[in-house]
């Protein structure tokens, strides 16, 4: 399949089998390696991206399903993602850092949908993402912090 | 510790490929090897710690560590920055490659901070002295009239100041000050050490720009996946590749023979059938399309359920006496008012770091270059020299970021695989393990059985302690037929049982290995911590004593066990972490309905840890509600990092207590991926409260591992407190409790 993908607002021409998971197209063909492989079976969230704003595990969908849509990865930037980045920084969240691309994308989608999420709402969305280093306490705190940072600036 | 040396410009280029000038200091931190580790071919006596000062003021610590999430780079940088009086924003860290010039780079055993703090500080102090000397010359004043502050040298008389960078040129002409003239700061003057510092890598982590092993890209590289025999050390009998060859993107398929390591060192590789493709997914698909007939070999009947029974029978009979036992337990038991006995089990476990094992290699005839997330690049290098017969100085191992290691990535089998394939296809290649490969072909944390028996007198004092243990030894991975636990393994919490026991007997029973065995975060302490803490709780209950009070009595009077260690065990510090945790957790308050509290304490990697856990148990389902942990790890280099480590250790220990289990049938591992080898997720994560003891005058000790061994026993003791039911066999999932 010869097609063009739109990732973070930029077009990328690719030639791939149409059933190749979006994850591997992004990593190996397009060459953006911020999106991570953790399990390949939609269990860990390391490969999370947004497709037309919807939180998606890129290992679990074929590239063909993303054609004509806007793909957003950790290499991108959005208002909520920037507040989250700052909060991640302030809270010194990462350990090995490997899962954090996926965590930040998932958190971005959470804040895009819910301006001020409760602990429970955070748990619901973020429990799809595994952090083997165990940074959950900090992630949760940082999400609240991002909301606070955003409220301060308006 | 060796002298601090100035590295000249030529060596500088050779070492780092950098043409830039400035000052480069290097020194060697020697480490006393405390833990079994495969032998490495050569001795090295070359600097392994470097600090580089540039004219623009940048201070770069060239770290001889593999980053694996311990934030160790940040901690070591803080030591330099402190003594140098640097401005934190000029400080950065560069990763060293696996070259013998960088000394021992192994990141196991929580050893890094312990051995490198002092040399780091001295280098910072030496660099500061050189800058002061240069400034004093310039101003024509005595050195004592100058001081360093916030990246400047200040003339105390005139308050003039010069930026560090502007002094680099002049200072680089000077000799390194004599060792005995280097003065270190006082603990109370630390600005960075012991303070909360942000990781130096944060921006890369939050933008997806940190290059992990799996992100390495070399022009024209291929991607490879390997089908390995489901049974350990099984071999390929025959295989059909037509279907796999038809997968779009697959370019080649080869059989790879197993590489057996020489006795006593290295890891070799399992072998199998390799599928080489132009992208990772094609390689994975090709691998799935292979039809392989295996010769399953001698481990084909290994069944973990049966092995558990065998080990249990063995620990119920007399075993081999371990030297260091003392007194006479038989007499003690005969005279006891009461005896208590129990048997405990821990299953095989796997590390499952978020980033799967992977390596990129380029075999170029007379040299090898590798990019791999390894915890021990030196061993990887020696191993490659051995198997591929290339002189070690022609082998470069670059260490990118590690997406977690936990011990898995100190075994370099995946590096050997990448080099073997690169040699075969004559091109750079990245070998990527699937998660299923990782779960099914690891170097597993061993399973164990333990039998404990204790005697109590009428006052509830422990008069005798018998412990029999059996677990496949890590040594079996280096020396076949190592069927008993080795001395270094029994030294992890068993023979050095920290309690004041007059009659103490430790026995070891046979436990053969039918899987590859390796070390996993906190290693054998997982067994000793679980067995001893669970059993002490049973004794306390039998003695009708409060579990915290009972432990304090059992630790006994204040004493320091000197022995040969540079970090003698201090019973006072052990009691102190327990009391501090009890206070923090409000120990003694009656738990609410369905809730229970449990405690565990453990001494490992020279650090003292106590944990109290609160669980709730409703309809037999356990939820961990709160975890309170206190650590005394001596000088706390970077408090926030230590806190992060302990929070992580709590989650890691919880995962193993609740879900961790690798089982085999007919020699093959039954688990596949995160759906059947589960991890704690955010919704199950408890509230975690960490306290770090202020012991700034003690030498720094381990922080990455000591938080793990207490978790499982504290959880199980809390379950007992809530329900009256003892969990003696992990994980809880097996008992339907999660
Ligand atoms: S890699 Fe996609 S969810 Fe794990
Ligand atoms: S920070 Fe290492 S897996 Fe999350």
Q: What is the pLDDT of residue B543?
A: 98
State whether A32 and B208 contact (CB < 8 Å). yes
Out of A31, A84, A130, closest to residue B679 by CB: A130
Query: Cβ contacts of residue B636 below 8 Å, gap of 6+?
Result: B194, B642, B692, B694, B695, B696, B700
For residue A19, the chain B residue with the least C-alpha distance is: B281
Backbone angles phi, psi at B29, to 5 degrees: -100, 120
Q: Which CATH architecture has domain B304-350+443-735?
A: 2-Layer Sandwich (3.30)
Q: Which alpha helices (H) appear in B258-410, and where do they start and end?
A: 280-289, 304-315, 329-335, 377-388
CA distance B286 to B579: 58
Q: Which residues from B are below 8 Å from A72, CB to CB? A: none
For chain B, domain boundaries: 5-207, 213-298+357-432, 304-350+443-735
Contact status, residue B419 vs residue B384, Cβ threshold 8 Å: yes
DSSP characters for B321-344?
A: EPTT-BS-HHHHHHH-SEEEEEEE
Angle subtended by helix axes A119-126 and A100-113, to nearest 10: 130
User: Ligand 1 centroid to B266 CA: how many Å?
Assistant: 32
Please answer whether residues B351 and B440 qualify as being in contact, where contact means their C-beta atoms are separated by less than 8 angstroms. Answer: no
Going by DSSP bridges, is the β-strand pair B395-398/B560-561 parallel, antiparallel, or unpaired? unpaired
| Contact indicator for B332, B644 with CB cutoff of 8 Å | no
A33 touches chain B (CB under 8 A): yes
Pocket of ligand 2 (CB under 6 A): A 94-100, 131-133, 135; B 69, 354, 404
Q: What is the pLDDT of residues B116-125, one digit of tens each?
A: 677 788 888 9
CA B479 to chain CA centroid, Å, is: 22
Identical fold for domains B5-207 and B213-298+357-432, yes or no, is yes
DSSP designation for B650: H
Listed residue (A26, A59, A48, A147) closest to A98, CA to CA: A48
Strand pairing class (B222-227; B429-432):
parallel
Q: Which helix (H) or strand (E) holds B489?
A: helix B487-490
Provide, as residue numbers in chain B, all residues whose Cβ is less than 8 Å from the Cβ of A43. Answer: 673-675
The pLDDT tens digits of the residues spanning B272-329 come to 999 999 999 999 999 999 999 999 999 999 999 999 999 999 999 999 999 999 999 9
Chosen CATH of B5-207 out of 3.40.50.720, 3.30.1700.10, 3.30.365.10, 3.50.7.10: 3.30.365.10
Tell me if B461 sits within 8 A of B544, measured CB to CB. no
Residue B689: its pLDDT value, please? 98
Ranges in chain B, pLDDT < 70: 1-3, 5, 7-20, 28-49, 63-72, 95-116, 562-564
User: Ligand 1, from A27, A28, A34, A42: best to mutate by most atoms within 8 Å of Cβ?
Assistant: A42
pLDDT at B561: 83
What's the CA gap between B215 and B201, in Å, rounded?
16
Residues 667-686 (B) with a CB less than 8 A from some CB of A: 673-675, 679-685
Q: Is B34 helix (H, G, I), strand (E, B) or coil?
A: coil
Asked if the Cβ–Cβ distance from B205 to A100 is below 8 Å, we say: yes
Size of chain A in residues: 154
Q: Which two tokens stand for residue B50?
A: 């470097």
Residue contact A28–B280, C-beta within 8 A: yes
Span B213-298+357-432: which CATH code?
Answer: 3.30.365.10
Task: Give the contacts of B413 (CB within 8 A, at least 6 positions apart).
Answer: B267, B268, B269, B270, B357, B443
Contact of B219 with chain A, judged by CB distance below 8 Å, is answered with no
CA closest to A85 among chain B residues: B206
Contact status of A132 with chain B (Cβ, < 8 Å): yes
Out of A46, A56, A99, mutate this one to test ligand 1's pocket (max ligand atoms within 8 Å of CB): namely A46
pLDDT of residue B355: 98
The ipTM estimated for the assembled molecules is: 0.98
Could you give the domains of chain A?
Answer: 2-72 (3.10.20.30), 79-153 (1.10.150.120)
Strands B448-456 and B338-346: antiparallel
Report CA-CA distances (Å) from B377 to B40, B101, B412, B431.
11, 12, 8, 17
Out of A94, A127, A132, whose CB is closest to B682?
Answer: A127
In A40-135, which ranges are continuous DSSP H helix? 79-90, 100-113, 119-126
Identify the pLDDT of residue B514. 95
Most ligand 2 atoms within 8 A of CB, residue of A132, A136, A137, A138 to mutate: A132
Model confidence pLDDT, tens digit, residues B690-713:
999 999 889 888 899 999 999 999
Instruction: Provide the residue count of chain B.
Output: 738
At B63 the pLDDT is 63
Q: Does A63 touch chain B (CB under 8 A)?
A: no
Q: What single DSSP character describes residue B730?
A: S
User: In chain A, which residues have their Cβ closer than 8 Å to the Cβ of B210?
Assistant: 97
């Amino acid at each position: 399949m010869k097609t063009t993908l739109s990732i973070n607002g930029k077009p990328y021409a690719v030639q791939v089998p149409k059933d190749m998971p979006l994850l591997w197209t992004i990593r190996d063909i397009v060459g953006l390696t911020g999106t991570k492989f953790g399990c390949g079976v939609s269990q860990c969230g390391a490969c999370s991206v947004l497709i037309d704003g919807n939180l998606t595990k890129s290992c679990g969908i074929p590239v063909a399903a993303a054609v004509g849509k806007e793909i957003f990865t950790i290499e991108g930037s959005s208002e909520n993602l920037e507040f989250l980045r700052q909060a991640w920084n302030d809270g010194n969240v990462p350990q090995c850092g490997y899962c954090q691309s996926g965590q930040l994308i998932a958190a971005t989608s959470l804040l895009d949908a819910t301006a001020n999420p409760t602990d429970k709402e955070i748990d619901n969305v973020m429990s799809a993402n595994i952090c083997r280093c165990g940074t959950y306490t900090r992630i949760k705190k940082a999400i609240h912090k991002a909301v606070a940072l955003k409220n301060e600036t308006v | 510790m060796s002298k601090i040396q100035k590295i000249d410009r030529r060596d500088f280029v050779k070492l780092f490929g950098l043409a830039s000038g400035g000052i480069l200091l290097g020194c060697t931190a020697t480490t006393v090897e405390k833990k079994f580790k495969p032998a490495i071919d050569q001795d090295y006596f070359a600097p392994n710690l470097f600090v580089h000062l540039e004219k623009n003021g940048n201070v770069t610590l060239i770290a001889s560590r593999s980053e694996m999430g311990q934030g160790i780079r940040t901690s070591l940088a803080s030591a330099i920055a402190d003594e140098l009086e640097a401005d934190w924003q000029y400080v950065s860290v560069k990763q060293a490659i696996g070259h013998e010039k960088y000394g021992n780079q192994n990141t196991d055993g929580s050893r890094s901070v312990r051995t490198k703090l002092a040399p780091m500080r001295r280098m910072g102090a030496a660099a500061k002295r050189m800058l002061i000397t240069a400034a004093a010359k310039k101003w024509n004043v005595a050195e004592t009239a100058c001081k360093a502050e916030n990246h400047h040298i200040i003339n105390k008389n005139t308050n003039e100041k010069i930026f560090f960078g502007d002094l680099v040129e002049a200072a680089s002409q000077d000799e390194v000050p004599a060792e005995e003239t280097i003065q270190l700061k006082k603990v109370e003057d630390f600005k960075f050490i012991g303070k909360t510092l942000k990781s130096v890598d944060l921006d890369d982590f939050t933008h997806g720009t940190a290059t992990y092993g799996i992100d390495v890209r070399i022009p024209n590289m291929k991607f490879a996946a390997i089908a390995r025999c489901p049974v350990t050390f099984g071999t390929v009998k025959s295989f059909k590749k037509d279907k796999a060859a038809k997968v779009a993107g697959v370019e080649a398929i080869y059989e790879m023979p197993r590489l057996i390591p020489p006795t006593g060192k290295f890891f070799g590789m399992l072998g199998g059938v390799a599928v080489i493709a132009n992208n990772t997914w094609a390689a994975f698909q090709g691998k799935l399309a292979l039809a392989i007939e295996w010769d399953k070999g001698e481990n084909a009947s290994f069944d973990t359920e049966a092995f558990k029974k065998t080990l249990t029978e063995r620990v119920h009979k007399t075993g081999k006496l371990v030297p260091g036992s003392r007194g006479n337990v038989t007499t003690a038991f005969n005279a006891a008012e009461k005896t208590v006995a129990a048997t405990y089990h821990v299953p095989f476990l796997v590390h499952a770091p978020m980033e799967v094992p992977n390596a990129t290699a380029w075999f170029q005839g007379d040299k090898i270059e590798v990019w791999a997330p390894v915890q021990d690049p030196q061993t990887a290098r020696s191993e490659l020299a051995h198997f591929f017969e290339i002189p070690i100085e022609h082998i470069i191992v670059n260490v990118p970021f590690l997406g977690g290691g936990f011990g898995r990535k100190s075994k370099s089998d995946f590096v050997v695989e990448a080099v073997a394939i690169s040699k075969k296809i004559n091109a750079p290649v990245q070998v990527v393990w699937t998660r299923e490969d990782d779960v099914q072909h690891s170097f597993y944390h061993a399973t164990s059985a333990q039998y404990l028996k204790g005697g109590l007198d009428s006052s509830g004092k422990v008069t005798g302690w018998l412990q029999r243990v059996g677990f496949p030894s890590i040594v079996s991975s280096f020396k076949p037929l190592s069927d008993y636990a080795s001395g270094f393994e029994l030294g992890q919490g068993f023979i050095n049982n920290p309690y004041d026991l007059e009659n103490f007997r430790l026995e070891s029973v046979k436990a053969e290995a039918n899987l590859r065995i390796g070390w996993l975060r906190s290693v054998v302490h997982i067994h000793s911590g679980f067995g001893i803490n669970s059993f002490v709780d049973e004794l306390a209950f039998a003695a009708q004593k409060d579990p915290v009070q009972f432990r304090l009595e059992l630790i006994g009077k204040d004493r320091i066990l000197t022995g040969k260690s540079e970090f003698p065990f201090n019973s006072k510090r052990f009691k102190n972490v327990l009391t501090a945790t009890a206070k923090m957790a409000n120990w003694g308050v009656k738990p609410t309905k369905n809730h229970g509290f449990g405690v565990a304490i453990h001494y490992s990697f020279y650090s003292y840890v106590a944990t109290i856990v609160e669980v709730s148990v409703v309809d037999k389902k356990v939820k961990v509600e709160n975890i309170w942990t206190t650590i005394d790890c001596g000088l706390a280099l970077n408090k926030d990092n230590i806190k992060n480590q302990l929070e992580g250790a709590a989650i890691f220990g919880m995962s193993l207590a609740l879900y961790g289990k690798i089982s085999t049938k007919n020699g093959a591992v039954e688990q596949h991926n995160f759906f059947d080898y589960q991890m704690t997720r955010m919704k199950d994560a408890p509230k975690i409260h960490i306290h770090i003891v202020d012991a700034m005058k003690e030498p720094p000790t381990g922080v990455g591992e000591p938080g793990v061994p207490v978790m499982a026993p504290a959880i199980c003791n809390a379950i007992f407190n809530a329900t009256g039911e003892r969990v003696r066999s992990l994980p809880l999932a097996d008992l339907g409790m999660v």
